[in-house]
Amino acid sequence: MALLLWLGSQLSSCWSNISVLGVFLTVFTLLLDFMKRRKKWSHYPPGPVSLPFIGTMLYVDFRNPHLSFNQLRKKFGNIFNLQNCWSNLVVLNGYKTVKEALVHRSEDFADRPYFPVYEHLGYGNKSEGIVMARYGHVWKELRKFTLSTLRNFGMGKKSLEERVTEEVGFLCSAVNSERGCPFDLRFLVNNAVCNVICTTIYGERFDYGDVTFKKLLHLFENSLNEEAGFLPQGKVAEENGFSYNNLRLVTADLFAAGSETTSTTLQWAFLYMLLHPEIQSKVHAEIDKVIGRERSPTMKDQASMPYTNAVIHEVQRYGDVAPVGLPHMTYRDTKLQGFFIPKGTTIITNLSSVLKDEAVWEKPNEFYPEHFLDANGQFVKPEAFLPFSAGRRACLGEQLAKMELFIFFTTLLQKFTFVLPEDQPRPREDGRFALTSSPHPYLVRAVPR
C-alpha cells in the first residue's frame, strides 16, 4: 500500500513537472514567435495584425492575391507590410509608388529573393539564371550577355520579324483546318508562340503535333538544349556566371518568359474579340484599309494602325497577365514615401493596381481601347502602362513580345472573323491565377473572311 502511495505521488509529481515544462515551452515558443514577428524599425509600413506562426497569410486569397492587395490598400494605403510566417513582405500599389521604387530607386529594389524551386531542379542552393538571379556583378554580366545574344539571334531585326511572319502562316493554316468548327484556340496559339522562341534559342521549329515538341512544352525545364557552342570558356567566365549549368537555366528562363506571357495575352485578345464584336469589326476595317486582304502585315504597318495598336495595348492592360509581377527584394536599406524598408525585404509590386489605377485610367475596370487614343484618334501610351514591369528588372523580351502580339493578332484578324459557337454560354472574363492570369478555357469558331 505504501508503495502504491509512493508511486502515485511520484506520478503526480512527474505530471506536474511535465505540465510546468509544457507551459514553459508554450510561453517560450510564443515569445520566440513574437520576437521573430515584431518590427524593430521605426517608420516601417503599416499592415494587418500578424497572427502567431502564420503571420498575415489569412488576409490573402492566394488564388487572387492582387484582389486581396487591393482590399488591403483601401485600409493601409499604397505601401503596406505582410508577413508570410516569419518572412517580411512589403506590397507596393499604384502607379506613383511603383514608379518611384522601380525607376527612381531602381537599384534599391533590384534584388530577388531566394526561390527553393531552383534547388529542387538541381541548380544548387541559390537562385541563378537571369530572371531570378540575385542582383550584382554576375547578374549584370549575364543580362548584358543575354541581350547581346538575343540581338545576334535577330531581336530587333528584320530576320526575326520574318520568323514571326512565317510562324503565323503555319498558325493560320492550322486554324483554317478547323473548318469553322468550335475549337480551343489556346493550344495552337501556345504552339506558335513557343515555336518563335524555339527558332531563336534552339535554331529550329516543330510541327504542332510533334511528340517531342509537346513534351518540350510541358517539361521544358527537363529538356533544355544541350548545345553549348557559344558558351564562354575559362576561369573568369565561371566567375562572371557563365557556367554550363547557369546558362542552361538562362535558356530555360528565356523559353518560359518568351512564351507564357505572350501566349496568354493572345488568348485574352481573342476572348475580348468574341465578347466585343463591334471592336473586332473596327479592327477588321482598319486592317482592310491599311493592309488589305492579300499581303502580310509588317511592323511598319503599326504606325498607320492606331486603333488596332490601341486594342492590343488595352488587351495587355485589361487582361492583366502578370498582376503581381515577379517578387523583388531590397538590395540595401531604403526609404519610400517616408517609410523605412530594410535590406533583404521581399517586395511585391501590385502591377494590377497600376494597370487599373483609377487616378490614371478613365474606365479602369472596362475593356476600353480609347485609353490609348487621343481626341484625334491617334495612338498614345500613358506612362502607367507597365505590363512588362520597369527599371533594372524590366522584361528582357519586351521588344519580341510587342512584335509577336502585333503580327499574330493582326494576321489572324486579317484572315478570320472570330465568333462564339451557337451553343456556348458567354465566356468568363475573370482570370485563373497561377503567377500569370489566364482566361478560363473557351471555344471559338474562326470563320474565314
Domain boundaries, the chain: 41-127+322-354, 137-320+356-427
> Which position has the higher pLDDT, 186 or 407?
407
- Please calculate the CA angle 185-189-195 and round it to the nearest 5 degrees: 155
Facing residues of 347 across strands?
90, 328
Over residues 366-379, the mean pLDDT reads: 97
Sign, Cα dihedral of 292, 295, 297, 299: negative
Instruction: Name the CA radius of gyration of the chain, rounded.
Output: 26
In the numeric block, which cell numbers belong to residue 426?
458567354
Q: Does 125 score more than 80 pLDDT?
A: no
> Please, which pLDDT band fits residue 10 given cuts at 50, 70 and 90?
low
Q: Does 254 score more than 80 pLDDT?
A: no
Burial (CB < 10 A; 0-12, 13-18, 19+), residue 40, is exposed
Question: What fold is seen in the domain 41-127+322-354?
Answer: 3.30.43
Tell me the per-residue pLDDT of 86-101, one tens digit each, with 9 for 90 and over. Answer: 789 999 999 999 999 9
User: What pLDDT score was predicted for residue 118?
Assistant: 55
Q: How far apart are CA 170 and CA 240, in angstroms?
A: 40
In DSSP notation, 161-212 reads: HHHHHHHHHHHHHHHHTTTT--B-HHHHHHHHHHHHHHHHHTS----TT-HH
Q: Does 405 score more than 50 pLDDT?
A: yes
Over residues 34-40, the mean pLDDT reads: 55
Tell me the per-residue pLDDT of 199-226, one tens digit each, with 9 for 90 and over. Answer: 877 778 888 888 877 776 666 434 333 3
Mean pLDDT is highest, among 43-57, 217-231, 294-308, for: 294-308
In the numeric block, which cell numbers belong to residue 272?
475580348
> Please, which pLDDT band fits residue 174 given cuts at 50, 70 and 90?
very high
User: What pLDDT score was predicted for residue 155?
Assistant: 64
Q: Out of 1.10.630.10, 3.40.50.10860, 3.40.50.300, 3.30.530.20, which CATH number does the structure's domain 137-320+356-427 have?
A: 1.10.630.10
Q: How far apart are CA 395 and CA 160, in angstroms?
A: 18
Over residues 3-20, the mean pLDDT reads: 60
Over residues 282-299, the mean pLDDT reads: 96
3-state class (DSSP) for residue 363: coil
- Phi and psi torsions of 428, nearest 5°: -75, 145
Sign, Cα dihedral of 165, 170, 173, 177: negative
User: What pLDDT score was predicted for residue 278?
Assistant: 98
User: What pLDDT score was predicted for residue 141?
Assistant: 84
User: What pLDDT score was predicted for residue 216?
Assistant: 67
> Please, which pLDDT band fits residue 423 given cuts at 50, 70 and 90?
confident
Q: Does 435 score more than 80 pLDDT?
A: no
Q: How far apart are CA 326 and CA 342, in angstroms?
A: 19
Over residues 351-357, the mean pLDDT reads: 95
> Please, which pLDDT band fits residue 25 given cuts at 50, 70 and 90?
low
Q: How far apart are CA 143 and CA 399, in angstroms?
A: 15
Instruction: Indicate the range of 23-27, 115-119, 229-233 predicted with least confidence.
Output: 229-233
Average pLDDT, the chain: 84
User: What pLDDT score was predicted for residue 280?
Assistant: 98
pTM, two decimals, is 0.84
Burial (CB < 10 A; 0-12, 13-18, 19+), residue 68, is middle
User: What pLDDT score was predicted for residue 387?
Assistant: 92
